[in-house]
């Protein structure tokens, strides 16, 4: 375990090397957030939907952007770079599981991003927040395992997709596909509450809604306590299933591996 | 059974053919032809624990590919490699614990952090007692003269400085086997010497098995007892440095110096004039003639005032062996 902790710490430290990047990242996150806030204010202001309050929406945006930030540095992109320039051979020389290494590495990068990008958003949102109902203790307690599973699931899916780089070499487009699936079936752009029935139904068949949407639902107390086990269990099962799948894919991938450049 | 066993090892790569120009590139989007390149072809050898072997061959001979299979990164197409009871590519992590690797043209260092941070990482990666690890850190920092740049971000270091750090990293956990793939690229003369001496003493003290790939034959002459030469994926030679000389050596050269004008050179069998200057000749002697006989013969014929016998350097022999 210690080795993964060190990989995480060093990755975080590497991010700290560039200060101005943090500053600009902060600014762009704040602007992006503001755009969404005003957009939703205007949309909800039309009064078509009365079951979603503006403060709820705000919390939704906040938690959503924080969780997405945690998987922003995308494993697929990192595997691709390592494949293209051949550094993958150096990574495989270390006595550490490749998946664990990748997980710690991305988490280090992303925690930094999440802290620098979302911190200002948090402060900003305080100005829009009055009237928000914070969840009770039980919902908060349920939120954490659900959010952790969501993050793990996001990582798992990008990792699995990233392994495609072993076959494709170039796979930058995978990120866009994942982003698309996540937006549509995971409700990261528009909450699934607003979806038409057939899309809502479809989202249950895919892992994406358990990434951020279900944890946020728990946080907003839209999921009753006695039903909370359903999304948590579903996320867990997806995670187990995909982890087993990635082992098979990894085995096939190492067979395919060619190392570029000497 | 030997410590490292390589049996009929093969590795094929599939290479997409690329035609010239933009039209060629566009065409290859729709239809692509592949050729199979046999990077390593039926290579076998075995190494005892503590052996130091020079693994040489011209560019693209398959040296690095062999090393990548031995270190568990690449899977062979066929054949087998075994390093101390472990099949590296089937048990990558176990194998990784006991090997140290330097790929000369790659770095294992964190680009944005100082070397000391990479040291921390490696300390936790290997289950070497902390004290022992620290002692190695100090030892190699001192030996490779790295103290001055230990705390500078790696991106600001020179090629040679990075190389030193990569070498140190490969040695910190007391590996049983060292794979060094061109470890002297970018090193200055002093550092090269230090590295060679270090390798010799590590080998002597810890019985570390070393496979050294290099284009610098001085490295080989300084550290290796044995030489394996491959070309186009196939093994051409495997034996001691002495045997290598005997097999490929093509005589020696004699330099003759004259006080005044040069006598007239007469071509005769096994003696060939390589170089002619105002006051000297360089003569190549082949055909298994002993240097004593050659000297007597040359003195009798031309009466020089000075005469030097030079044995051919490994580098020259290798150049000829590569053809």
For residue B183, list chain A residues with Cβ-Cβ distance below 8 A. none
Q: CA-CA distance, A12 to B269, in Å (whole number)?
A: 72
Average pLDDT, rounded, for chain B? 89
CATH (residue range B249-322) = 3.30.70
In this complex, do A90 and B103 lie within 8 Å of one another by their Cβ atoms?
yes
The shortest C-alpha distance from B34 to chain A (Å) reads: 15
Residue in A closest to B70 by C-alpha: A93
In this complex, do A6 and B124 lie within 8 Å of one another by their Cβ atoms?
yes
Cβ atoms of B186 and B102 closer than 8 Å? no
Q: CA-CA distance, A56 to A52, in Å (whole number)?
A: 7
For residue B75, list chain A residues with Cβ-Cβ distance below 8 A. 254-255, 257
The Cα angle at residue A152 between residues B73 and A191, in degrees rounded to 5: 135
In this complex, do B105 and A89 lie within 8 Å of one another by their Cβ atoms?
no
Q: CA-CA distance, A94 to A108, in Å (whole number)?
A: 18
Residue from the list B96, B101, B112 with its beta carbon closest to the beta carbon of A14: B112
Strand order of the sheet with strand B226-231? B99-103, B177-181, B209-213, B52-56, B226-231, B234-240
- What is chain A's pLDDT, residue by residue, as a tens digit (262 residues)? 889 999 999 999 998 888 788 888 888 888 888 898 888 888 887 766 667 788 888 888 888 888 888 877 678 888 888 888 888 889 999 999 999 999 999 889 888 888 887 777 887 787 777 666 778 889 999 999 999 999 999 999 989 988 888 888 777 788 888 889 989 999 888 888 888 999 999 999 999 999 999 999 999 888 898 999 999 999 999 999 999 999 999 989 888 887 766 5
CATH topology identical between B4-246 and B249-322: no
- Tell me which of A15, A93, A258 to substitute to probe the interface with B (most B C-beta atoms closer than 10 Å): A93
Q: CA-CA distance, B243 to B290, in Å (whole number)?
A: 17
A206, with CB counted inside 10 A (0-12, 13-18, 19+), is middle
Nearest by Cα to B109 from A175, A91, A37:
A91
For residue B101, list chain A residues with Cβ-Cβ distance below 8 A. 93
Q: CA-CA distance, A118 to A190, in Å (whole number)?
A: 19
Q: CA-CA distance, A204 to B18, in Å (whole number)?
A: 45
* Helix, strand or coil, per DSSP, at residue B182: coil
What token pair was written down for B75?
A: 């899977």
Cβ atoms of A151 and A71 closer than 8 Å? yes
DSSP letter at A262 equals -
For residue B103, list chain A residues with Cβ-Cβ distance below 8 A. 89-90, 262
What token pair was written down for A204?
A: 């249950």
Residue from the list A10, A92, A93 with its beta carbon closest to the beta carbon of B113: A10
For residue A96, list chain B residues with Cβ-Cβ distance below 8 A. 93, 125
Cβ atoms of B109 and B162 closer than 8 Å? yes
Residue in B closest to A93 by C-alpha: B96
Residue in B closest to A7 by C-alpha: B121
In this complex, do B107 and A3 lie within 8 Å of one another by their Cβ atoms?
no
Residue from the list B74, B96, B112 with its beta carbon closest to the beta carbon of A95: B96
Residues whose CB is less than 8 angstroms from the CB of residue B147 and which lie 6 or more positions away in sequence, other chains included: B141
Q: CA-CA distance, A97 to A7, in Å (whole number)?
A: 12
Nearest by Cα to A78 from A151, A143, A163, A138:
A163
To which residue do tokens 């040679």 refer? B160
Helices (H), chain B: 21-30, 63-70, 92-97, 115-125, 130-143, 159-171, 189-206, 217-223, 241-248, 291-302, 314-322
The shortest C-alpha distance from B63 to chain A (Å) reads: 9
B56, with CB counted inside 10 A (0-12, 13-18, 19+), is buried
Nearest by Cα to B123 from A95, A48, A91:
A95
The Cα angle at residue A213 between residues A210 and A214, in degrees rounded to 5: 60
The shortest C-alpha distance from A3 to chain B (Å) reads: 5
SS (H, E, C) B150-176: CCCEHHHCCHHHHHHHHHHHHHCCCCC
Q: Exposure string (b/e) for A28-54, b if CB count within 10 Å is 16 or more?
A: ebbeebeebbeebeebbeeeeeeebeb
Residue in A closest to B69 by C-alpha: A89
Cβ atoms of B173 and B121 closer than 8 Å? no
In this complex, do B124 and A2 lie within 8 Å of one another by their Cβ atoms?
yes
Question: Touching check for A92 and chain B: CB below 8 Å?
Answer: yes
Interface contacts (A, B; CB < 8 Å): 77
Question: Touching check for A78 and chain B: CB below 8 Å?
Answer: no
The shortest C-alpha distance from A19 to chain B (Å) reads: 12
Q: CA-CA distance, A33 to A127, in Å (whole number)?
A: 13
For residue A14, list chain B residues with Cβ-Cβ distance below 8 A. 110-113
What pLDDT is stored for residue A83 in this prediction? Answer: 84
pTM of the model: 0.84
Residue from the list A89, A255, A258 with its beta carbon closest to the beta carbon of B103: A89
Residues whose CB is less than 8 angstroms from the CB of residue A156 and which lie 6 or more positions away in sequence, other chains included: A238, A239, A242, A243, A246
Q: Exposure string (b/e) for B119-151, b if CB count within 10 Å is 16 or more?
A: bbbbbbbbebeeeebeebbeebbebbebeebee
Residue from the list A6, A94, A254 with its beta carbon closest to the beta carbon of B120: A6
Q: CA-CA distance, A96 to A86, in Å (whole number)?
A: 18
* Helix, strand or coil, per DSSP, at residue A49: coil
In this complex, do B124 and A3 lie within 8 Å of one another by their Cβ atoms?
yes
**DSSP letters for A145-170:** HHHHHHHHHHHHHHHHHHTTHHHHS-
What token pair was written down for A30?
A: 């704040």
Question: Touching check for A169 and chain B: CB below 8 Å?
Answer: no
Radius of gyration for the alpha carbons in chain B, expressed in angstroms and rounded: 24
For residue A99, list chain B residues with Cβ-Cβ distance below 8 A. none
What pLDDT is stored for residue A189 in this prediction? Answer: 85
Pairing of β B226-231 and β B234-240: antiparallel
Residue from the list A2, A10, A95 with its beta carbon closest to the beta carbon of B117: A10
Q: Which fold has domain B4-246?
A: Rossmann fold (3.40.50)
Q: CA-CA distance, A51 to A131, in Å (whole number)?
A: 15
In this complex, do B92 and A92 lie within 8 Å of one another by their Cβ atoms?
yes
Residue extents of the structural domains in chain B: 4-246, 249-322
Residue in A closest to B111 by C-alpha: A14
- What phi, psi does B121 have (nearest 5°)? -60, -50
Rounded to 10 deg, the angle between the A137-162 and A75-85 helix axes is 20
Strand order of the sheet with strand B252-257? B271-276, B280-285, B252-257, B306-311
Beta bridge partners of B239: B227
Q: CA-CA distance, B149 to B165, in Å (whole number)?
A: 10
- What is chain B's pLDDT, residue by residue, as a tens digit (323 residues)? 899 999 999 999 888 777 778 887 777 777 778 888 899 999 999 999 999 999 998 888 899 999 999 999 999 999 999 999 999 999 999 999 999 999 988 899 999 999 999 999 999 999 889 999 999 999 999 988 899 999 999 999 998 899 999 999 999 999 999 999 999 988 889 889 988 998 998 999 889 999 999 988 889 989 999 999 999 999 999 999 888 888 887 788 899 999 888 888 888 888 888 888 888 999 988 888 888 999 999 999 898 999 999 887 777 788 877 77
Question: Touching check for A93 and chain B: CB below 8 Å?
Answer: yes
């Amino acid at each position: 375990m210690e080795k993964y902790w060190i990989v995480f710490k060093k990755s975080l430290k590497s991010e700290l090397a560039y200060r101005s990047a943090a500053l600009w990242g902060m600014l762009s996150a704040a602007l992006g957030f503001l755009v969404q806030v005003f957009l939703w204010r205007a949309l909800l202001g039309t009064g078509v939907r009365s079951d979603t309050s503006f403060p709820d929406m705000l919390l939704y945006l906040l938690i959503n952007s924080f969780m997405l930030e945690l998987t922003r540095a995308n494993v697929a992109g990192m595997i691709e770079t390592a494949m293209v320039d051949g550094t993958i051979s150096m990574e495989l020389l270390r006595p550490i599981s490749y998946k664990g290494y990748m997980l710690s590495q991305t988490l280090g990068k992303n925690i930094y991003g999440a802290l620098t990008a979302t911190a200002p958003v948090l402060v900003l949102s305080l100005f829009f927040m009055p009237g928000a109902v914070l969840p009770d203790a039980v919902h908060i307690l349920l939120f954490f395992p659900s959010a952790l599973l969501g993050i793990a699931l996001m990582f798992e899916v990008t990792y699995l997709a990233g392994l495609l780089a072993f076959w494709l070499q170039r796979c930058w487009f995978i990120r866009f596909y994942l982003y698309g699936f996540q937006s549509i079936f995971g409700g990261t752009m528009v909450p699934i509450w607003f979806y038409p029935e057939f899309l809502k139904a479809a989202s249950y068949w895919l892992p994406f809604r358990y990434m951020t949407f279900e944890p946020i639902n728990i946080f907003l107390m839209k999921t009753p306590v006695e039903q909370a086990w359903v999304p948590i269990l579903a996320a867990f099962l997806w995670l187990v299933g995909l982890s087993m799948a990635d082992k098979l894919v990894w085995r096939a991938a190492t067979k395919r591996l060619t190392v570029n450049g000497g | 059974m030997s410590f490292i066993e390589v049996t009929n090892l093969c590795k094929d790569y599939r290479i997409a053919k690329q035609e010239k120009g933009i039209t060629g590139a566009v065409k290859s989007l729709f239809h692509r032809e592949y050729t199979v390149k046999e990077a390593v072809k039926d290579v076998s050898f075995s190494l005892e624990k503590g052996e130091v072997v020079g693994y040489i061959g011209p560019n693209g001979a398959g040296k690095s590919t062999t090393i990548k299979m031995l270190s568990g990164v690449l899977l062979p197409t066929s054949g087998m490699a075994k390093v101390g009871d472990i099949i590296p590519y089937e048990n990558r992590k176990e194998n990784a614990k006991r090997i140290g690797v330097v790929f000369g043209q790659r770095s294992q260092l964190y680009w944005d952090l100082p070397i000391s941070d990479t040291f921390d990482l490696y300390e936790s990666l290997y289950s070497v007692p902390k004290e022992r690890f620290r002692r190695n850190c100090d030892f190699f920092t001192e030996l490779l003269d790295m103290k001055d740049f230990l705390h500078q971000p790696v991106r600001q270091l020179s090629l040679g400085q990075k190389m030193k750090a990569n070498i140190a990293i490969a040695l910190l956990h007391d590996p049983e086997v060292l794979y060094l793939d061109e470890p002297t690229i970018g090193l200055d003369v002093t550092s090269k010497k230090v590295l060679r001496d270090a390798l010799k003493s590590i080998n002597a003290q810890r019985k570390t098995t070393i496979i050294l790939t290099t284009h610098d034959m001085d490295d080989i002459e300084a550290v290796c007892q044995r030489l394996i030469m491959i070309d186009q994926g196939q093994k051409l030679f495997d034996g001691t440095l002495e045997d290598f000389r005997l097999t490929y050596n093509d005589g020696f050269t004699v330099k003759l110096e004259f006080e005044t004008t040069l006598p007239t050179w007469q071509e005769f069998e096994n003696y060939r004039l390589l170089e002619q200057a105002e006051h000297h000749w360089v003569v190549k002697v082949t055909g298994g003639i002993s240097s004593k006989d050659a000297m007597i013969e040359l003195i009798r014929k031309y009466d020089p005032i000075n005469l030097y016998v030079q044995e051919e350097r490994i580098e020259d022999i290798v150049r000829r062996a590569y053809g």
